[in-house]
Structure 1
Amino acid sequence: MLTASDAHDIQVVELTPDEEREYIQRESRRLLGMDVEEFRQRWEAGEFRGNDDPKVTQVAMLLPDAR
């Protein structure tokens, strides 16, 4: 659990839109071994419905317009 004193140790890094896209791409490849656009298409087509793999959830949460 974070305490008030821990808050001083937290650093926030803002990414540019290009850096954000690169990060999401990198994580999709690292976690799932697929291009983020392939993942997005399959996600939107419902191919991962019922899949409880936390890696799928992690990448889905990174999508800018995650549903």
Structure 2
Amino acid sequence: MATDTQTDPAATVDEMTPEEQRALLEREARRNLNMSADEFAAKWRAGEFQGNEDPKVTQVAMLLPDAW
């Protein structure tokens, strides 16, 4: 009995370099919240977004390497 061992292309994961991750965070923080990544990260860590249900905040927060 033969087994099909082809990988589903949708299951492929491409990893980003730390530089690419940082550039994405910077771009999304500016695009969604009109602030730099550093400003967003500082406010996030200070708890300034607690209770904020804006999906844009969540979208940017998910890009923080230590948010979760």
Which bracket does the TM-score occupy, shorter chain normalised? 0.7 to 0.9
Q: What residue is the counterpart of 1:4 in the other structure?
A: none
Runs of 4+ aligned residues of structure 1 deviating over 2 Å after TM superposition are none
Q: How far apart are residue 8 of structure 1 and its match?
A: 2.8
Q: What residue is the counterpart of 2:58 in the other structure?
A: 57
Higher helix share: 1
Larger Rg: 2
Describe the SS at the equivalent of 2:21.
Answer: helix
Normalised by the length of structure 2, the TM-score is 0.78
Tell me, yes or no, if the aligned pair for 2:25 and 2:37 is still in contact at 8 Å.
Answer: yes
Q: Provide the rounded CA distance (Å) in 2 between the counterparts of 1:60 and 1:14.
A: 19
Which amino acid is the alignment partner of residue 50 of structure 1?
G
Q: Provide the rounded CA distance (Å) in 2 between the counterparts of 1:30 and 1:13.
A: 23
Cα RMSD for the two superposed structures:
1.5
Pairs aligned (count): 61
Structure 1: 5+ residue runs without aligned partners? 1-6
Structure 2: 5+ residue runs without aligned partners? 1-6
Q: What residue is the counterpart of 1:44 in the other structure?
A: 45
Q: How far apart are residue 14 of structure 1 and its match?
A: 1.7
